[in-house]
Chain A
């Protein structure tokens, strides 16, 4: 499969706790992105981390990238009920026959539930 793996597949925590989701991928990448999707809705871009970066922060989000292990993690601190959603990592794959062009391939996703 061209998709990466994410774990856990589902995560349920109490409001205020931290949530950590992991993503592993298979090939070399230029960057890795995290997206959120509320049930039945479109994707919301959260954060992009480049292959030469190891950690990135955005508000309550912290993303790490370990290219030697081909893995990334997304940490949401002080979780809120509104964070309940599915979270996907996505990596870029080269488009065959088009130099420099990339396509995004998504991991399986983690369904996060924040209990009030």
Chain B
């Protein structure tokens, strides 16, 4: 199976700071990257979809100015939570889609964010 990494795996920060989460597809190229958020005991909620070199498409209710997504290359995408608040505390999971494989979607191990 494909290898997807996320960094950091967990982060604790103070309210008001910004946090950047990196997602890398280590052995394949991802033309599309999905970012999900998961609150405790809940399901994964899609936040946004990004394509390499273009602006991300955000799901309804997700603030694009708060959750900045950069998909600068086919192997790296970043999600920056700007001015994080306690309600942003969650588990963030990236999911790169392998180029040319419509059914193949892989998931990163997730990043747990705790905002104090």
Contacts and interface: CB of A to CB of B under 8 A. Distances in A.
A88 interface: yes
A70 B57 CA distance: 27
Interface string B100-115: 0011011111101000
**Which range holds the interface residue count of chain A?**
20 to 34
Interface in B41-94: 41-46, 49, 51, 57, 91, 93
B57 A42 contact: no
Contact of A103 (B46, B93, B106, B107): B46
Given A42-B110, A102-B102, A88 B44 contact: yes
B25 interface: no
Contacts, number: 49
A100 B95 contact: no
Given A41-B109, A103-B34, A103-B49, A48 B44 contact: no
Contact of A43 (B41, B45, B49, B93): B93
A77 interface: no
B93 to A, nearest CB: 6
Contacts of A42: 93, 107-110
A106 interface: yes
A95 B46 contact: no
Given A3-B43, A106-B44, A31 B103 contact: yes
Nearest to B95: A104
A55 to B, nearest CB: 18
A73 B105 CA distance: 21
Nearest to B6: A42
